[in-house]
Amino acid sequence: MSPGLVSPEWLGVVPRVVVSGVPRPRDGAGRVRRVCLLSVHTSPLEQPGTGDAGGMNVYVVQTALRMARRGIAVEIFTRATSSEHQPVVELAPGVLVRHVVAGPFEGLGKHDLPSQLCAFTAGVLRAEARQEPGWYDVVHSHYWLSGQVGWLARDRWGVPLVHTAHTLARVKNAALAEGDPPEPMVRVIGEDQVVAESDRLVCNTDIEARELVDLYGADPARIVTIPPGVDLARFRPGDRAAARTRLGIPADAVVLAFAGRIQPLKAPDVLLHAAAALLERDPALRARMVVLVAGGPSGSGLAEPTGLQQLAARLRLDDVVRFLPPQTPDGLATVFRAADVVAVPSHNESFGLVALEAQACGTPVVATRVGGLPVAVADGRSGLLVDGHRAGPWADALAAVALDPARRAALSYEAVAHANRFSWDRTTDALLSTYEEAAAEFARRQAAELHATAWMS
């Protein structure tokens, strides 16, 4: 396994190299028997919290594994970023990851990847051409780069294209973090094209569905809202004292936590400013406060990879903040269980898986009232939502949870109940129903076009 690829601890399975395709599922599996997933810019084998790997990686892996358990063969295409990558790796029985050579092996920024879409598309089409006709029944693209590839594959293979944007350029540009560059026009145009061409657009929330209609002119009839899930077997309440012992944190500490990629969009700096404000209000709190920051620099955060550490020093939080590397899911669960409150101060989130995972562990969340976070967090019941990113209101919200044991206990109870409403099994079942509907509609449309052509001739 090459550097950067996930370990068995992250996947819960042991990937192995294979040389042939997944056997065709039994006929009883239904109309959709084999799914092509496209994830151009980030591999499902990469550790979330590093590079461009994050919630989308979790989404692709968790749904692919569950599709396979339902008898659906899944093949995931992603760009090869190392000469050590084997062409095909079995993620789990029924799930293949195909590494497509497109451009230099070293990592490319997302802004450089459009120039490699032609090469990537050629690799995908050639892989399908080596199989028997009708190999895939549906294409599901993740992020706009993959949607560009999926659009062409859909036309070549004669199958429906289902697309999940995960984030939208126009939405991100309307809520940029300070110093974060706007998304380029090439992405905006690319998203317009993918929205127009997709047979189904899968949204995380109704808010995202409205954004697609209002900002991209999407056809509401082609939009379906399917909330992401949480791995409830892994993220569940546990022994807080044991979690703190494992992390070397005193049992009576006041623990504030952040988990995610270190970049302006995710706004971990907001947590540091809020922590500094809390200490200014009550200097005695310094003896007990611990701020956990788990994750690595990513995206525009790579321009200043140590910027957050430098901010902690300027705010005189060196003795309070502990920086942890990107965590495996089990490691994340430990961080969440150890925390009194988890902060999700993002400037934009299409949903916010970290918020859901933390709540599933019984830890209340304080999050920004943006994007899908009002769905992921039940304001006043499983956590608190904050308008904006000013240190004062964030300090108020964090204190209201972390420094009030009775309120924290009530929020913790409701957090578990709220998170249990979401599961990857429900997400996967809804996706498969969407695939079936898109495939049936696509077949009817093809038949009607064929009939019209025959009548005209």
Report the binding-site residues. 41, 47-48, 52-57, 110, 143, 167, 187, 261, 266, 327, 336-337, 339, 349, 357, 363
Provide the residue count of the chain: 457
DSSP bridge pairs for 324: 294
3-state helix/strand/coil string of 228-285:
CCCCCCCCCCCCHHHHHHHHCCCCCCEEEEEECCECHHHCHHHHHHHHHHHHHHCHHH
Q: Which of 126, 119, 74 has its CA nearest to residue 101?
A: 119
DSSP bridge pairs for 222: none
Alpha-carbon distances of 337 from 21, 255, 412, 417, rounded to whole Å: 41, 10, 11, 16
- Can you tell me the distance from the alpha carbon of 421 to that of 416, in angstroms, rounded to the nearest whole number? 9
- Can you tell me the distance from the alpha carbon of 223 to that of 212, in angstroms, rounded to the nearest whole number? 9
- Can you tell me the distance from the alpha carbon of 345 to that of 211, in angstroms, rounded to the nearest whole number? 21
Q: Which helix (H) or strand (E) holds 157?
A: helix 144-157
How many beta carbons lie within 10 A of that of residue 285, not counting itself? 17
- Can you tell me the distance from the alpha carbon of 91 to that of 67, in angstroms, rounded to the nearest whole number? 13
- Can you tell me the distance from the alpha carbon of 257 to that of 272, in angstroms, rounded to the nearest whole number? 10
Q: In this structure, what DSSP letter does residue 450 have?
A: H
Q: Is 141 within 8 Å of 117 (Cβ atoms)?
A: no
- Can you tell me the distance from the alpha carbon of 296 to that of 375, in angstroms, rounded to the nearest whole number? 26
Residues 6+ apart with CB under 8 A from 94: 22, 25, 67, 68, 69, 71, 72, 73, 74
- Can you tell me the distance from the alpha carbon of 103 to that of 96, in angstroms, rounded to the nearest whole number? 22
Known binding residues for Mg(2+) are 336-337, 339, 363
Known binding residues for 1D-myo-inositol 3-phosphate are 41, 52-57, 110, 143, 167, 187
Q: In which order are the strands placed within the sheet that holds 223-225?
A: 16-17, 88-92, 95-100, 73-79, 34-38, 138-142, 161-164, 200-203, 223-225
How many beta carbons lie within 10 A of that of residue 160, not counting itself? 26
> Would you state the structure tokens that stand for residue 32, as one six-digit string?
């959709």
Amino acid at 277: A
Give residue 100's Cα distance to chain centre.
21
